[in-house]
């Protein structure tokens, strides 16, 4: 049995038009000016292992871009630190995060910047803690149906731990593996219908196979048409 959770709004592209785009760009520029001013204090807090000391300062600066954006300071993939800003897959926030990223300084050895939550290197090595129990994402199985015309993949997600979870926790364990596998941006762009599967479906694949399938669809969809 499948339980429907979400259908992505394929029409919601989040594209900004002038003069709104200019307003977003100006707000992003103000953030980066403020970020540059805060960097010595941020470096001091991180060096002292007390990041909470500067969280309110960064949050206040980011609120000038949009009050509904969230952020995290994490270990970077190539740099020491990563500043990750997220619109939580809300298409209305996409123009703001696009402007923020466009105005970002070049990454260096100390800082890199992401306008959405990136995928983890190997989601099958991740274990999610929910309600005091551990759920290895290596146990997740997914049925994926590709809609090439729409450029979307409909998925049904199964985990053997679903049976012991209430609705909200089951929903979390449905979406967390997808975001960990694809990253927030690719999941928002390329996933269509998302369902939970209460029994393991036939023809299911693992998360790494799902990643390659969705990335290949994204490459195909983004490619210019042949002349």
pLDDT of residue 12: 45
**Do 104 and 156 sit in the same domain of this protein?**
no
* pLDDT tens, residue by residue, 30-62: 999 999 999 999 999 999 999 899 999 999 999
User: Residue 10's pLDDT is what?
Assistant: 39
Is 9 inside a domain boundary? Answer: no
Domain assignment present for residue 226? The answer is no
Task: Establish if 4 belongs to a structural domain.
Answer: no
Give me the pLDDT at residue 64, please. Answer: 93
Based on the structure, what is the number of domains in the chain? 2
Distances (CA, A) of 114 to 86, 108, 199, 203: 8, 13, 36, 34
CA distance 169 to 167: 6
The SS3 of residue 66 is coil
Q: Which domain holds residue 135?
A: 121-221
pLDDT in tens, the chain (227 residues): 444 444 444 344 455 565 678 999 999 999 999 999 999 999 999 999 998 999 999 999 999 999 999 999 998 989 999 999 988 778 889 999 999 999 999 999 999 999 988 999 999 999 998 878 899 999 999 999 999 999 999 999 999 999 989 998 999 899 999 999 999 889 989 999 999 998 998 999 999 999 999 999 999 988 776 65
Task: Identify whether residues 87 and 141 lie together within a single domain.
Answer: no
Give the other-Cβ count within 10 Å of 63's Cβ: 13
Three-state DSSP state, 147: strand
Question: In terms of Cα–Cα distance, which of 68, 72, 104, 73 is closest to 88?
Answer: 68
Q: Given this model, what pLDDT does residue 117 score?
A: 87
> Which of the listed residues 114, 132, 160 is the one where a domain comes to its end?
114
Same domain for 133 and 108? no
> Based on the domain organization, do 143 and 196 belong to the same domain?
yes
Q: What's the chain's average pLDDT?
A: 89
pLDDT in tens, 70-84: 999 998 989 999 999
The pLDDT assigned to 17 comes to 60
Query: Which pLDDT score is estimated for 192?
Result: 94
Same-domain check for residues 129 and 216: yes
Indicate whether 71 and 50 sit together in one domain: yes
Residue at which a domain ends, from 88, 114, 140: 114
Instruction: State the pLDDT at residue 18.
Output: 59
Q: Let me know if residue 28 belongs to a domain.
A: yes
Residue 69 three-state SS: coil
Quick count: other Cβ atoms within 10 Å of Cβ 198?
14
129 and 215 co-located in one domain? yes
């Amino acid at each position: 049995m499948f339980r429907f959770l979400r259908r992505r709004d394929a029409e919601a592209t989040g594209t900004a038009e002038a003069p709104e785009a200019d307003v977003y760009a100006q707000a992003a520029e103000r953030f980066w000016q403020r970020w540059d001013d805060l960097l010595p204090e941020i470096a001091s807090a991180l060096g002292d292992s007390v990041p909470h000391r500067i969280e309110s300062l960064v949050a206040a600066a980011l609120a000038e871009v949009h009050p509904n954006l969230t952020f995290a300071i994490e270990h970077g993939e190539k740099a020491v630190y990563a500043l990750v800003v997220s619109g939580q897959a809300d298409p209305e926030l996409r123009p703001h995060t696009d402007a923020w990223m466009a105005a970002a300084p070049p990454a260096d050895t100390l800082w890199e910047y992401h306008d959405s939550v990136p995928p983890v290197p190997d989601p099958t090595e991740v274990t999610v803690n929910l309600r005091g129990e551990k759920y290895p994402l290596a146990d997740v199985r997914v049925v994926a149906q590709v809609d090439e015309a729409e450029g979307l993949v409909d998925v049904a997600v199964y985990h053997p731990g679903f049976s012991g979870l209430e609705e909200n926790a089951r929903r979390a364990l449905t979406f967390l593996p997808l975001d960990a596998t694809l990253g927030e941006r690719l999941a928002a762009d390329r996933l269509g219908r998302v369902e939970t599967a209460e029994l393991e479906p036939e023809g299911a694949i693992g998360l790494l196979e799902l990643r390659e399938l969705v990335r290949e669809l994204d490459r195909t969809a983004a490619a210019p048409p042949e002349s």
